[in-house]
Structure 1
Amino acid sequence: MKQLVVMDARGNVEAVLGCSEKSRTKTLEQGELWVVMPENGRVLPYGGGGVRCGSFRPGPDEAWYQVRLLEPGREGDSGAATPGESAGLSGDSSGNSSGNFPDTGDDLVLPVLSDLADLIAERRRTMPEGSYTTHLFSKGSGKIRKKTGEEAVELILAQDRQEIIGEAADLLYHTLVLLEQEGIRLEEVVRELGRRHSG
């Protein structure tokens, strides 16, 4: 089972839930979002049903999925995109009327980044064929640094809100790859941020 980042029509994160093959298939077939409920593991329609998807796409290396919800009355495309397309993982949570989901996006940030960092470390250990992360590690530190720099420039040049979110997600992913390449754990960076914040 993978994580599913649920975003509203404006790109704000509503929740991070589980996504199984069954829930993914039902979502793509019906155009309505189905998720794995955290309290019982059952596959149920999100928000009680009738919540339409504007897009349903994999994040880098298909480590998680991103779904963008439609405003009521609008139609969208639930097709999947290619691996490596950005998944917006930052933003404020607007909560959910069912009461089953987190009330704030603050608690979602570190678990998602930590899970991605762990996946990147696993990719480096196993180097599975066809993985974009494997490709980066096979090219070495110079290539990873160059690609991270390119992503930083793309973030700077991004214009609209959703483009900035997407480019920021790409930069975070490549930064985590660089940290793994250099043997630096995400926790070390978080501790440094905490030190500066408390100083």
Structure 2
Amino acid sequence: MEPKATFCFEVSWEVCNKVGGIYTVVKSKAGQMMEYYGSNYFVIGPYFVKKAYGEFEEATPPEPFKSIFADLSQQGIDCHYGNWAVAGGPGCILIDFSRFASQKDAIKGTLWDKYRVDSLGTQYYDYDETVVWSTAAAKLIEAFAKKQDKPVVAQFHEWLAGAGLLYCRMNNAPVA
């Protein structure tokens, strides 16, 4: 079976950041996804230095990622490119969203205005950081897709990545 999209991004809070069961789900299917998409399969997770140690092998990003990362850095989104040390060794992008966190109120305001996502009284480590991170991930995927003339698909795992999916929808990102 041939893939319908040329590029596939899998977005999960648990890429190189084991918290619960989704880590095992994404990890266990990575080898098969690499067989299907080859070097056009990428996983995206949050960048936490201590958690990435031993799981992430950083490398120099190729184009178009290098220029996309430079543009995103201007917005406070710092991306680390490499491979996840699991079966298949998929391309992996870990996002340091700490500087982008200054946008959390604007992001949450937009989610309320467009989708009525109520986030009043949420705590940073319980909700806000995943909203900021997943929005940063969506901005990365959107920027990549706009540079392509081939189909891009993205899977956002669990509610932790849901704001990214809503960002793509709201901005009509060329992503399925």
Q: TM-score, normalised on structure 2?
A: 0.28
Question: Which structure has the larger Rg?
Answer: 1
Q: TM-score, normalised on structure 1?
A: 0.26
